[in-house]
Amino acid sequence: DPDMPFVPSIPEDQFILVEEGDPTVIPCRTSDPNAQVTLINSLDKAVPAFYDSKQGFIGNFPAGSYTCKTMVKGVEFKSDEFLIYILRATSQLPVEIEALKTVYKTGETIVVTCVVFDNEVVNLQWNYPGKVKEKGLIKLDDIKVPSQKLVYTLTIPEASVKDTGDYECTARHATKEVKENKKVVITVHDKGFIHLEPQFSPLEAVNLHEVKNFVVDVQ
């Protein structure tokens, strides 16, 4: 079609997510398989890359904006703009789970964090006693400096004894068959308590005027 040398692209094709180091395709396809197509970047400079009229430009491209252009009977045509986003992802999936404390009283707020390192393409799921009732509040912080990490925070307000149990986070790599899960056990008591452990016998004898120390461990 001389009036439309580039096949129209759908919006989903214009946003290209690619893992760091992986090749990708910029899908500006032509209606004429013999068309001479040039790839240009946001600085309007030509980018050398292999072109396949049925797929588009194939290669390892830096993040940024790209457009394709071609000439038909002396008239220049430009394709839609394509935006490439580079996502950091490693084949391994380092995950850590942390709870500030593992023993709570009724009414306190439980806080558990799950941290995924060096990956931006991750699906994470929580499993915990109150999940069926959707009791937990989940927050995600995407930290990039000084290093990439995703911090998922699970908060359980107004904890009860029923919130006692396993708190588990499972991270799955979005593009690879890799998953990792971590678990911490949380205990919620109805009331606070003190544990006393005397370091002396029920019956102790002392001499007159003797000074004796009685030691008790308190937890």
Residue 205 in domain: no
Domain end marker among 87, 119, 148:
87
Q: Tell me whether residue 203 is in a domain.
A: no
How long a stretch of residues is the chain? 219
Yes or no: say if 115 and 109 are a contact pair by the CB < 8 Å rule.
no
Question: What's the pLDDT tens digit per position in 53-108?
Answer: 889 999 999 989 999 999 988 889 999 999 998 877 677 789 999 999 999 999 99
* Confidence band for 158, pLDDT divided at 50, 70 and 90: very high
- Cα–Cα distance, 15 to 65 (Å, whole number): 10
Domain end (from 59, 87, 115):
87
Task: Output the CA–CA distances (angstroms, integers) from residue 192 to 55, 124, 167, 168, 195, in the order listed.
Answer: 66, 33, 21, 25, 10
CB 80 within 8 A of CB 9: yes
Structure tokens at 50: 């292999």
Let me know whether 82 and 106 are in one domain.
Answer: no
Q: What's the rounded mean pLDDT across residues 205-219?
A: 92
* Average confidence score pLDDT of the chain: 90
CATH number assigned to the domain comprising residue 69: 2.60.40.10
Tokens of 198: 């005397």
